[in-house]
Structure 1
Amino acid sequence: MSGVRVWTRELMGTVFSVHVVGDASGGPEQRAVEDLAAARFFDEVSGIERIFSTFRDDSEVSRIRRGELDFASADPRVGTVAAACDEAETATAGRFSAHWRGGFDPTGYVKGWSVDIAGAGHLEPLLREPGIRALGVNAGGDVRVWSRPETPWTWRVGVADPARRGSIVATIELTSGAVATSGTAERGGHIIEPASGRPAGGARSATVVGADLATADVWATAAVVAGAEDLSWIRGAPVASGLIVSSDGRVRRFANGVELCIVPAA
């Protein structure tokens, strides 16, 4: 029999939650190990936020944007993220970029990357514990999960309908990997076309399934910028599958670089 324990913390302007699926009979020692892993995960993400936040005046990214700090003198992780963002900009043909809104802004990459990094360091090792079957992180609706290979555990991730609050347009099942959704339903026109500087308006939302959350998040953003009429990018994208909800409510689904179907608007 399995039980699920959940920890939450407000980070990066949203709510992060850690989910651990383990044997319900796990004793105090197992629970203490889980508590420590969750706390260390949150602490590492919080430390990353202190470096990369564009809302904190004292963050290294804010200091770089004001010209008070150069990349060479910054925390080494800033250079790592900057290089990854440059690679993502090239891979997405400019649909994703960390150079907009007044300077270097890796916000669209850092949240997913922080979950991957902190999860690998503090959560994934829990799978070596005999009583733990699966792990998951929900970071403001973006999800990263892990499961023991020998355990028949499947995560079911609902994809929100951007037109109808509380409804879903699809359910994604996976044992390990990531699901990221970008769109305008919750926060309005916050996704910007890097080339024009205008809000992206060709899709209400895009959901992408990938091996890690940083990759899934980058390509979900790129998909919204591309719009629902342009799926040319899926052929070379390093993602498993996904769906795009158009501005008129149609749903386009794809997998392994091929469009599977178009579902008419309800």
Structure 2
Amino acid sequence: MTSPDRRTWTHDVMGSVATIRLVGDPVAEAEAVAACFAELDLADRLFSTYREQSEVSRIRRGELTIAAAHPLVEEVTEGCRDAERTTGGLFSAWRDGEFDPTGFVKGWAIERAARAHLAPLLERSGCLAAGLSVGGDMQLLTAEGADWTWRVGIADPSRPRTVVATLEVPRGAVATSGSAERGAHIVDPRTGRPAAAGVASATVVSDSLAHADVWATAAVVAGFDDLGWITRAGTTTGLLVADDGRTRRWLGATEIAVDAAAPSV
């Protein structure tokens, strides 16, 4: 049987690389790809804390109110408030009184772009699957009835260019947070200090990338020994990797495995 065509596009954005992968032979793919990247560029212009004239930077300096900003700013703000409530404070977009939606906005923007511009391709003949990822966080779409499953490798935080596990995802979202690539950049909102509870990486699989991204961050903050949050996270699966290489895996609200070493692929 002939394998379906696979096409890949990349685009620099959000200090990382966005990648679109299409499987099959979709119609109007060029327009969809361009629109998808444009959505990510817009999110970067609005929300980047590294751009002096982004709306978030202006809000942080007191030059702009959320109410007067682009409508998407209020949408993200509400999403951040909801995430703080649902995680019980394990996630927060407010640092020392300043608004920093970085931990929410990437997953939200990827999911929003994928659903708006890639999902319609699946409704036309020829497109089996479409995926959008930025820095390893991804929203994966598959046409109804299509014989396609995404295989996602989870990077081993202690061994570059190797994987600690491989997930098979028919459709959904995968988010990974941790200190492996960017150091101790995740702050525990409860203390205001870098999260230091023994998690090298946390991967969460859910239907929504905005949801998965928030809970991956929350998992790092909660720490390797605390899975009490998974009942609040709803329908997710995931994998925690400790600083010492131990792993914990869960499905829904139930832990399914604890390993002394990395699981086999």
| TM-score, normalization by structure 1 | 0.95
Residue of structure 2 in register with 1:22 after alignment: 24
Write the letter of the residue equivalent to 1:80.
E
Residue of structure 1 in register with 2:257 after alignment: 261
CA distance in 2, matches of 1:74, 1:191: 27
Choose which of 104, 108, 111 in structure 2 pairs with 1:113. Answer: 108
Q: For residue 149 of structure 1, give the secondary structure of its aligned residue in structure 2.
A: coil
CA distance in 1, matches of 2:96, 2:107: 20
1:209-239 per-residue CA deviation (whole Å, 9 max, x = no partner) reads 0111110000000000000011100112124
Residue of structure 2 in register with 1:86 after alignment: 81
- 2:230 aligned with 1:219: no
Q: Shift of the alpha carbon at 1:104?
A: 0.2
Write the letter of the residue equivalent to 1:209.
V
Q: Shift of the alpha carbon at 1:101?
A: 5.7
Residue of structure 2 in register with 1:7 after alignment: 9
What pairs up with 1:26-45 in 2 under 5 angstroms? 30=27, 33-45=28-40
CA distance in 1, matches of 2:48, 2:94: 15
- 2:203 aligned with 1:201: no
1:179-214 per-residue CA deviation (whole Å, 9 max, x = no partner) reads 000000001001111111211122101000011111
Residue of structure 2 in register with 1:170 after alignment: 165
1:127-179 per-residue CA deviation (whole Å, 9 max, x = no partner) reads 01201100011211111100011111000001111011111111111111000
Choose which of 182, 206, 209 in structure 2 pairs with 1:187. Answer: 182
CA distance in 2, matches of 1:236, 1:212: 15
Residue of structure 1 in register with 2:240 after alignment: 244
Residue of structure 1 in register with 2:229 after alignment: 233
- 2:162 aligned with 1:160: no
Write the letter of the residue equivalent to 1:205.
S
CA distance in 2, matches of 1:263, 1:169: 12
Q: For residue 232 of structure 1, give the secondary structure of its aligned residue in structure 2.
A: coil
Where does the alignment leave 5 or more consecutive residues of structure 1 unmatched?
none
What pairs up with 1:28-107 in 2 under 5 angstroms? 30=27, 33-100=28-95, 103-107=98-102
Q: Residue 32 of structure 2 contacts residue 117 of structure 2 at CA under 8 Å; is this kept in 1?
A: yes
Q: Residue 143 of structure 1 contacts residue 178 of structure 1 at CA under 8 Å; is this kept in 2?
A: yes
Q: Residue 110 of structure 2 contacts residue 138 of structure 2 at CA under 8 Å; is this kept in 1?
A: no
Runs (4+) of structure 1 exceeding 4 A deviation are none
Q: Shift of the alpha carbon at 1:265?
A: 2.6
CA distance in 2, matches of 1:5, 1:86: 37
Q: Residue 208 of structure 1 contacts residue 239 of structure 1 at CA under 8 Å; is this kept in 2?
A: no
Q: Residue 201 of structure 1 contacts residue 247 of structure 1 at CA under 8 Å; is this kept in 2?
A: no
Q: Residue 141 of structure 1 contacts residue 180 of structure 1 at CA under 8 Å; is this kept in 2?
A: yes
- 2:142 aligned with 1:143: no
Q: Residue 95 of structure 1 contacts residue 194 of structure 1 at CA under 8 Å; is this kept in 2?
A: yes
| Matched residues, number | 259
CA distance in 1, matches of 2:100, 2:56: 7
Q: Residue 77 of structure 2 contacts residue 101 of structure 2 at CA under 8 Å; is this kept in 1?
A: yes
| TM-score, normalization by structure 2 | 0.95
CA distance in 1, matches of 2:172, 2:80: 20
RMSD after superposition: 1.2
